[in-house]
Amino acid sequence: MRAAVSKSTREAAVVRSRGTRDLGDVLSRHRIVVCAGSGGVGKTTTAASVALWGALHGRRAIVLTIDPARRLADSLGVGPIGNTPIEVPASALAGLGVGKGGTLTAMMLDQKGSWDELVARHAPSEEVRESILANPFYRQLSQSFAGSQEYMAVEQLGELDASGRYDLIVVDTPPTQHALDFLEAPDRLLHFLDRKIVRWFVRPSMSAGWSTFQTMNRTVRFLLGKIEDATGVAALAQVSDFFSAMGQLFDGFEARVDRVTALLRDPATAFLLVAGPDEQVLGQVDYLASQMAERRMPLKGVVMNRVHAPLDIDESAPEEIASAIEPHVDRAIGAKGRGEASVAGKVARRLAENLAAWQGRARGDALRIEVFRQGLPRGVPLVQVPDLPRDVHDLEGLRSLHAFLFGAVD
Amino acid sequence: MSLADLLSRRLLFTVGKGGVGRTTVTVALALEAVRRGKRVLVIEFEGARGLERALDAHRQARDPAPGLDRLTYLAVDGKRALEEYLEMIIPVRRLLRTIFDSAIYQYFVAAAPGLKELMAIGKIWYEANRADAEGDPRAANGNADDGPHPDLVIVDAPATGHSLQYLRMPQAAHEAFPVGLVHREAERVLSLLRDPSKTGVVVVSIAEEMPANETLEILAGLEGIGLQHAALVVNQVHAAPCSEEELDALRREAETVEPLEAAASDAALFVEAVRRAEEESGWARINATHVARLEAATRAPVALLPYVFCEEFGPEQVREIGRVLRARFEETSASAKPRGVGRGRAS
């Protein structure tokens, strides 16, 4: 049995090194980096690591994070509640060799309070605010309207950018079913709060029910009345009350959504897709990329997490591997006897099965990533982070990812 | 509890975040049920395509699973379900079409987010209730093949955001609409959901920090809406290929051979095998920590599924998961909680 660097592995290494250089370029050319993806693939950790890279290169970096693991939150100094920016102490960064002027700040997006905060921020008076917050329709809406978290993340991003205190803002986005959901959030919200329709709802007569619409013919009115009965009369009044109150804070709101959308389309904003090698998204990358381009929010890089990278050894059957490594296993654990029945034989066999299985998995990952890469627009770098059995929960751990994300740095 | 007990209910929800293998568990449960002769309807919510794709793969497999012809699929669309419901109570179809197409109706539906979810759950209730023998004279006659009524409905609950949103909706609607048909509809749905002899929630998780945290939230959330989970399936559990002591000895051996015999192929192979063993053991340790957290949070049976290493996860792997699932539940029907780990992965 020969252990040789296979051709495909060497090629992968070349592509990887070219990609890693480019991700650093992407960061140096953009002020805002949005990490999009379906979640569960290390998006939060990736975002934090990218922000740390910025700090190490002299940037005033902030990571806007959604739901970090507790120990990561602890090491970044952000708590589970509240959303004030907290700077990582210079002393903690000093040991990592932060470049001149570099700082790292972390901020947690408070998801649960996000709609409430939005209402509080835009309500013209205490009274309006209270009437919205107490509205049952609003309470349902704020819990279930798709895109509210996404929208709030973008709005928060706008505020951080306007503050002028940061020159690298990295955004960790809420997990979505589809990577595009995040980008669509502002438009969806704007559509939802369409001025014409809101005005429709805020006519004073609405509280009395559908039947007051004189412009409708009688049959339509009759049927709408039936629908009203079916769905519950109180709901309509609540919807109307809600929009009456919302109408009062709508002006500032629309302008804000516009600003936020413009920020996402700013040439200084880069989108990184964070994915795993076994996701459905891999089969749809060309669709994803074209949709992003259409929204004038082009994809600038891909981070592939949890990859089983091909090993520098040829593949063999588990039996062959087992017999090849058994002398070493035998020497290590000093078992009596030889062959299948011995302890060393059993351990060698399990080690061999594990290795062979791992290689099979690596082969599958490599194949899926290659297909994905072919659908990727030219010049979009793709970097791979291996599936390592450890929780990344401190600054040192975040920095250890830089070797994979950016190639050798520091 | 045995798997047969679980599958004897009318309605099962598999609940879990994306990436934990929820759809795989849904399909594995469905295949187990049809193998036992049941007619099964699997449901996913409109927009999600994972379940449909998985079933297509099974139908196109070279060696299809037994009983696949008893398995049907439905994508539930809340908006469509609301229209169906309205057509049922307002039988003036042609005119209703005009209403449904009007901007104000579209907006009304969009503006009442709970309504669509409630109607989706109502549709599921309707499908599950068709299977209820008490309400079905044909079933009472003992003629099981008469008609397409499913014996079991399995719902692959949404992957992202609020995975409990749909399950919470009947209660929310029950409170939000104090009177009217929606109120009564919500009440009917609630009574089915809260009957543990008819409805079971199977929570699917993986044993890593964040997914386990989310699963603990899901368990608490279920309790909050008066639903008990029937089982907890922990997926993608790694197994250490050797003991910690053996691993220590192997590691030391690998360190000595590395510089000396790096050129020798068997030595390099051995070093790589030890590295992979270390990695697997590392994952196994992480998994064990979080399995313990999950087990501490539930009184329901906990079934551990192995991490499946394979080039591509396909129908054969799903059937294997089904077999493991059966074994795990059978193990415990007599004694305590199901346990056990091999290698496996579901995605």
**Higher-pLDDT residue of B12, B45:** B12
List the beta bridge partners of residue A382: A302
- As a whole number, mean pLDDT of residues A135-163 equals 73
Distant-in-sequence, close-in-space partners of B110: CB < 8 Å, separation ≥ 6: A192
Distant-in-sequence, close-in-space partners of A262: CB < 8 Å, separation ≥ 6: none
**Higher-pLDDT residue of B101, A292:** A292
Per mean pLDDT, which range of A79-93, A248-262, B59-73 is the poorest?
Answer: A248-262
Query: Coil, strand or helix: which one is B70?
Result: helix
**Higher-pLDDT residue of B274, B95:** B274
The structure's pTM equals 0.80
Euclidean distance between CA atoms A333 and A92, whole angstroms: 42
- Amino acid identity for residue A341 in this structure: A
Task: Using alpha carbons, select from A161, A183, A169, A157 the residue that is nearest to residue A47.
Answer: A169
Express each pLDDT in A21-58 by its tens digit.
479 999 999 999 999 887 678 888 899 999 999 999 99
Q: Is A391 exposed, middle or buried (0-12, 13-18, 19+ CB in 10 A)?
A: middle
Of all residues in chain B, the percent with pLDDT exceeding 90 is 36
Of all residues in chain A, the percent with pLDDT exceeding 70 is 65
The answer to whether residue A14 scores a pLDDT higher than 70 is no
Averaging pLDDT over each range in A244-253, B88-97, B156-165, which range is the top one?
Answer: B88-97
Query: pLDDT band at residue B63, thresholds of 50, 70 and 90?
Result: confident
Return the number of other C-beta atoms located less than 10 Å from residue B255's C-beta: 11
The answer to whether residue A72 scores a pLDDT higher than 70 is yes
Answer CATH for B3-332 from 3.40.50.2020, 3.40.50.300, 3.40.190.10, 3.40.50.12780: 3.40.50.300
Query: pLDDT band at residue B222, thresholds of 50, 70 and 90?
Result: confident
Nearest C-alpha of chain B: how many angstroms from A3? Answer: 5
**Rg, chain A, Cα only:** 27
Of all residues in chain A, the percent with pLDDT exceeding 90 is 25
The answer to whether residue A200 scores a pLDDT higher than 60 is no
Token pair for residue A375?
A: 């659908």
Q: Which of A197, A326, A328, A363 to mutate to test the interface with B (most CBs of B within 10 A)?
A: A328
Q: What is the pLDDT of residue B25?
A: 94
Of all residues in chain B, the percent with pLDDT exceeding 70 is 78
Q: What is the pLDDT of residue A213?
A: 44
Chain B neighbors of A226, CB-CB under 8 A:
86, 89-90
Angle between helices B165-176 and A136-144 (to 10 degrees): 170
Query: pLDDT band at residue B262, thresholds of 50, 70 and 90?
Result: low
Q: What is the pLDDT of residue A325?
A: 92
DSSP letters, B272-325, are HHHHHHHHHHHHHHHHHHHHHHHHHT-SS-EEEEEB---SS--HHHHHHHHHHH
Q: What is the pLDDT of residue B110?
A: 57
Are the C-beta atoms of residues A26 and A382 closer than 8 Å to each other?
no
Return the number of other C-beta atoms located less than 10 Å from residue A296's C-beta: 12
The answer to whether residue A212 scores a pLDDT higher than 60 is no
Q: Is the CB of A140 less than 8 angstroms away from the CB of B172?
A: yes
Chain-centre distance of CA A312, in angstroms? 32
Give me the total of CB pairs closer than 8 Å, taking one residue from chain A and one from chain B: 224
Query: pLDDT band at residue A3, thresholds of 50, 70 and 90?
Result: very low
Question: Is B225 in CB contact (< 8 Å) with chain A?
Answer: no
Euclidean distance between CA atoms A67 and A76, whole angstroms: 12
Note which residues in 262-291 of chain B have CB less than 8 A from chain A: 265-270, 272-274, 276-277, 279-283, 285-286
Nearest C-alpha of chain A: how many angstroms from B175? Answer: 9
Q: Is the CB of A220 less than 8 angstroms away from the CB of B257?
A: no
- As a whole number, mean pLDDT of residues B75-79 equals 85
Alpha helices in A145-273 (DSSP H): 148-163, 181-192, 195-201, 218-231, 233-247, 250-265
Chain-centre distance of CA A357, in angstroms? 30
Q: Is the CB of A350 less than 8 angstroms away from the CB of B283?
A: no
Q: What is the pLDDT of residue B251?
A: 94
Q: Is the CB of A361 less than 8 angstroms away from the CB of B181?
A: no
Q: Is the CB of B177 less than 8 angstroms away from the CB of A234?
A: yes
Q: Where are chain A's structural domains?
A: 318-363
The answer to whether residue A19 scores a pLDDT higher than 60 is no
Per mean pLDDT, which range of A345-349, A360-364, B86-90 is the poorest?
Answer: B86-90
Note which residues in 23-82 of chain B have CB less than 8 A from chain A: 47-48, 50, 53
Question: Is B19 in CB contact (< 8 Å) with chain A?
Answer: yes
Averaging pLDDT over each range in A282-296, B25-39, B163-177, which range is the top one?
Answer: B25-39
Q: Is the CB of B179 less than 8 angstroms away from the CB of A234?
A: yes
Averaging pLDDT over each range in A108-117, B42-51, B299-308, which range is the top one?
Answer: B299-308
Q: Is the CB of A357 less than 8 angstroms away from the CB of B310?
A: yes
Token pair for residue B198?
A: 């008819």
- Amino acid identity for residue B107 in this structure: Y
Distant-in-sequence, close-in-space partners of B323: CB < 8 Å, separation ≥ 6: none
Return mean pLDDT, chain B: 81
Q: Is the CB of B241 less than 8 angstroms away from the CB of A351?
A: yes
Q: Where are chain B's structural domains?
A: 3-332
Question: Is A200 in CB contact (< 8 Å) with chain B?
Answer: yes
Q: What is the pLDDT of residue B139?
A: 38
Q: What is the pLDDT of residue A1?
A: 39
Q: Which of A38, A350, A354 to mutate to test the interface with B (most CBs of B within 10 A)?
A: A354
Nearest to A40 among B19, B104, B182 (CB): B19
Q: What is the pLDDT of residue A246?
A: 65
**Rg, chain B, Cα only:** 24
- Amino acid identity for residue A230 in this structure: A
Chain B neighbors of A197, CB-CB under 8 A:
103, 107
Nearest to B160 among A176, A352, A390 (CB): A176
Chain A neighbors of B53, CB-CB under 8 A:
280
The answer to whether residue A61 scores a pLDDT higher than 70 is yes
Task: Using alpha carbons, select from B285, B277, B286 the residue that is nearest to residue B241.
Answer: B277
Q: Is the CB of A354 less than 8 angstroms away from the CB of B280?
A: yes
Q: Is the CB of A1 less than 8 angstroms away from the CB of B265?
A: yes
Question: Is A239 in CB contact (< 8 Å) with chain B?
Answer: yes
Return mean pLDDT, chain A: 76
Query: pLDDT band at residue A95, thresholds of 50, 70 and 90?
Result: confident
The answer to whether residue A276 scores a pLDDT higher than 80 is yes
Q: What is the pLDDT of residue A210?
A: 45
The answer to whether residue B159 scores a pLDDT higher than 80 is no
Q: What is the pLDDT of residue A205?
A: 45
Nearest C-alpha of chain A: how many angstroms from B142? Answer: 37
Token look-up 């706008």 returns A158
Are the C-beta atoms of residues A52 and A88 closer than 8 Å to each other?
no
Are the C-beta atoms of residues A60 and A165 closer than 8 Å to each other?
yes
Question: Is B165 in CB contact (< 8 Å) with chain A?
Answer: yes
- Amino acid identity for residue A109 in this structure: L
**Higher-pLDDT residue of A148, A121:** A121
Averaging pLDDT over each range in A24-38, A130-144, B39-53, which range is the top one?
Answer: A24-38
Chain A neighbors of B96, CB-CB under 8 A:
223
Per mean pLDDT, which range of A103-112, A198-207, A394-403, B185-194 is the poorest?
Answer: A198-207
Chain A neighbors of B178, CB-CB under 8 A:
232, 234
Nearest C-alpha of chain B: how many angstroms from A9? Answer: 15
Q: Is the CB of B108 less than 8 angstroms away from the CB of A354?
A: no
Q: What is the pLDDT of residue A388?
A: 86
